[in-house]
Amino acid sequence: MIYNDGPHIEEARPRALDACCGVGGVTRGLQDAGFHVTGIDIAPQPDYCGDLLLRGDAVEYIRAHGHEYDVITASWPCQFYSALTRGTNRGRVYPDLIAPGRAALEATGRPWVIENVAGAPIRKDLMLCGEMFGLAVIRHRFFELSDGLTVPQPAHPAHRGRVAGWRHGAYHPGPYLAVYGDGGGKGTVAEWQRAMGIDWTDNRRSIAEAIPPAYARHIGAALYAHVRTTVAA
């Protein structure tokens, strides 16, 4: 079942759906790019930053309502493909939503973007790194784009050093933070907020699972131009 977790604010802005929105890292970037953003997540997201929050199964919602939006972004859970998860959470079962999610997206006829980690079975049309945006995280993420959609690939600057933290009993300094897990030396919540560009929540897990808004701002600019060009045509 889908239900409304927040007020619906009518806007003249083009409408984006952020599937598996979490706290709204992608949402904030899309808002900055000019979209009215509805987020949907199966879990409660009390700190969500978007215009409207729905709670329910994202794939089912896209099948039923995806065509009502101008663009759709989907950050299907990455734990099924993450090397980190395989190493630290062995034995746990995580959903694999990429194939059914892609099919649902394709059926909408709308432009869409899928985000995931390096090991995920998605077409790697775009790769973004925190260093491209001056962030204190590396956080490589890959994006599959729907047919006909293009997003500029920024140059990938050389990393300036290592990720700070404890390894094998020794602390190694570096210009980047490890924004995941609870191990020592990974930075405070305030440091994570600054590193990711997320200032509307202090929930450590939510920040760790988010996409830096700068990534979505870059993609959102291309989506906004695509929508406006399509409407004009």
Name which of 89-93, 150-154, 201-205 the model is least confident about: 89-93
Distance separating alpha carbons of residues 153 and 132, to the nearest angstrom = 10
pLDDT 10s digits, 167-185: 888 888 999 999 988 766 6
The confidence score (pLDDT) of residue 87 equals 47
Q: How far, in Å, CA of 71 to CA of 8, rounded? A: 18
Dihedrals φ, ψ of 54, to 5°? -115, 150
**What local confidence, expressed as pLDDT, does residue 127 receive?**
98
| Mean pLDDT computed over every residue of the chain | 89
Q: Which residue has the higher pLDDT, 206 or 87?
A: 206
Can you say how many angstroms the Cα of residue 29 is from the centroid of all Cα atoms in its chain?
9
Confidence of residue 212 (pLDDT cuts 50, 70, 90): very high
Q: What is the pLDDT of residues 82-119, one digit of tens each?
A: 554 444 445 555 568 899 999 999 999 999 999 999 99
Domain edges within the chain: 3-153+210-232
Calculate the alpha carbon distances from 143 to 119, 123, 127, 162, 173 in Å.
Answer: 12, 7, 6, 24, 30
Residue 56 has a CB neighbour count (10 Å cut-off) of: 15
Q: Given this model, what pLDDT does residue 144 score?
A: 98
Q: pLDDT at position 88, please?
A: 46
The pLDDT, as a whole number, for residue 86 is 46
Residue whose structure tokens are 């869409």: 112
> Using an 8 Å Cβ cutoff, are 163 and 176 in contact?
yes
Q: Name which residue leads in pLDDT, 211 or 84.
A: 211
Helix segments in the chain, DSSP class H: 25-33, 58-65, 83-88, 98-108, 189-196, 204-209, 213-232
Q: Which residue's entry shows tokens 């987020």? A: 39
The percentage of residues in the chain with a pLDDT greater than 90, rounded to a whole number, is: 75
pLDDT over 70 (residue 6): no
Average pLDDT estimate for 27-44: 97
Regarding predicted confidence, which is higher, 165 or 3?
165
Task: Please say if the pLDDT value at position 143 is more than 80.
Answer: yes
Percent of the chain with pLDDT over 70: 85
Q: What topology does CATH give the domain 3-153+210-232?
A: Rossmann fold (3.40.50)
The two structure tokens encoding residue 130: 């925190």
Which pLDDT band holds residue 166 (cuts at 50, 70, 90)?
A: confident
